């Protein structure tokens, strides 16, 4: 991997990731700088102890632009975008409309490819590996920033999820707090250790590998399975066999195997339904907090809000109001269908 760090016209950082050196990354952002946006605020909900981010300026962010005005495509001619180069492999830049910024953290956009009409599932293994390397680099750099407690790499895909830019991309959030879900993981792991003397996540992986009805696919270093108490219609967790806290601790062998398995998994999601349109999903890396996360194990959680070809899973009264999930698809059925969706 070769990394080139530069700046956009308004001072935001832009980073190019290339498979090899030699690419010209000297193109300048010729747009006028935009300033003066409000700063997000992190507030504490005293009733729950959860943090809530107030980012009112995001109401003005770019919303479903036409393809010829996509801000994530390369700059070509007099059509200026967030990427000044005429082409790129993987590019990362600070979000123009961040949910977190300044002392309240940082938000970055990760563009997986310069090709507008594709998705992560359409990448080559080599490009998927380059994205993994970019995620790893951002995890290392952002974790070291003062005030950052957790780094969260994720991808939202599909209008059903709420995506407003169709160009294949994900995001990285450097959070000034530990997320509620991560805090629950840490507490559950501590309780499991106290009760059994073992690590919770190692036991979850071992249990899934033994209960083959919930297995989806596996390799020498990774296993993908549907969790026993899946919250979403089709939800898969992808674990490395060796417990590590974050992406920076993976070995070369683990990094090399990941792209093939992950691409296979994404393509199975796209084959789940009628195949006429891509399956919407959230893909979320769970990493230990930067200042120590107990026994939390790195893993990726992938899920879709689609429960049939023409029906979505909405977060209604119980889920949105009480955080009590109710799933319409049995985890064992979901795993079987994903196994059958192999190419």
Long-range contacts of residues 321-325, Cβ cutoff 8 Å, at least 24 apart: 325/231, 325/232
Nearest to 95 by CA among 105, 103, 87, 85: 105
- What phi and psi, each to the nearest 5 degrees, are found at residue 261? -65, -40
Secondary element (H or E) of residue 256: helix 252-271
Instruction: Give the other-Cβ count within 10 Å of 160's Cβ.
Output: 16
Alpha carbon separation from 83 to 64, 97, 108 (Å, rounded): 18, 16, 13
Q: Is 167 a catalytic residue?
A: no
Taking the C-alpha atoms of residue 297 and residue 246, their distance in angstroms, rounded to an integer, is 7
User: Given 167, 169, 221, 237, which residue is catalytic?
Assistant: 169
Would you list the DSSP string of 69-84? Answer: G-TTSBPBTTB--SB-
Collapse the DSSP code of 220 into the 3-class scheme (helix H, G, I; strand E, B; otherwise coil) and give the result.
coil
Q: Report strand pairing: 106-111 vs 150-157.
A: unpaired
Report the alpha-carbon distance of residue 291 to residue 338 in Å, rounded. 36
Cα-based torsion angle of the residue sequence 74, 97, 173, 160 in order, rounded to the nearest 10 degrees: -80
Determine the 3-state secondary structure of 25 from DSSP.
coil
In the DSSP assignment, the letter for residue 234 is E
CB 279 within 8 A of CB 235: no
The sign of the torsion formed by the CA atoms of 140, 142, 146, 147 equals negative
**Which residues are marked as active site?**
169
């Amino acid at each position: 991997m070769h990394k080139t760090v530069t700046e956009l016209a308004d001072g935001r950082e832009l980073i190019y990731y290339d498979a090899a050196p030699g690419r010209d990354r000297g193109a300048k952002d010729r747009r006028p700088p935009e300033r003066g946006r409000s700063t997000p605020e992190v507030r504490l909900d005293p009733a729950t102890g959860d943090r809530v981010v107030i980012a009112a300026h995001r109401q003005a962010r770019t919303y479903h632009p036409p393809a010829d005005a996509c801000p994530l495509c390369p700059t070509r001619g007099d059509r200026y975008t967030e990427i000044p180069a005429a082409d790129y492999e993987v590019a990362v830049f600070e979000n123009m409309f961040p949910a977190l910024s300044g002392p309240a953290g940082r938000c970055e956009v990760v563009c997986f490819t310069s090709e507008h009409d594709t998705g992560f599932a359409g990448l080559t293994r080599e490009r998927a590996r380059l994205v993994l390397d970019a995620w790893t680099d951002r995890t290392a750099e952002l974790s070291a920033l003062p005030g950052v407690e957790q780094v969260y790499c994720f991808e939202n895909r599909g209008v059903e999820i709420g995506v407003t830019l169709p160009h294949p991309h994900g995001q990285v959030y450097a959070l000034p707090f530990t997320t509620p879900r991560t805090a629950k993981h840490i507490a559950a792991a501590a309780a499991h250790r106290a009760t059994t003397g073992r690590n919770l996540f190692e036991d979850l992986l071992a249990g899934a590998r033994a209960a083959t009805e919930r297995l989806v696919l596996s390799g020498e270093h990774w296993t993908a399975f549907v969790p026993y108490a899946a919250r979403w219609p089709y939800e898969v967790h992808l674990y490395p066999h060796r417990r590590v806290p974050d992406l920076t601790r993976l070995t070369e062998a683990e990094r090399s195997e990941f792209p093939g398995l992950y691409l296979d998994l994404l393509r199975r999601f796209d084959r789940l339904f009628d195949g006429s349109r891509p399956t919407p999903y959230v893909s979320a890396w769970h990493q230990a907090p930067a200042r120590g996360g107990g026994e939390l194990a790195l893993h990726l959680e992938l899920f879709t809000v689609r429960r049939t070809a023409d029906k979505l899973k909405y977060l209604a009264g119980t889920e949105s109001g009480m955080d009590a999930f109710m799933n319409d698809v049995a985890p064992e059925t979901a795993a079987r269908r994903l196994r059958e969706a192999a190419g």
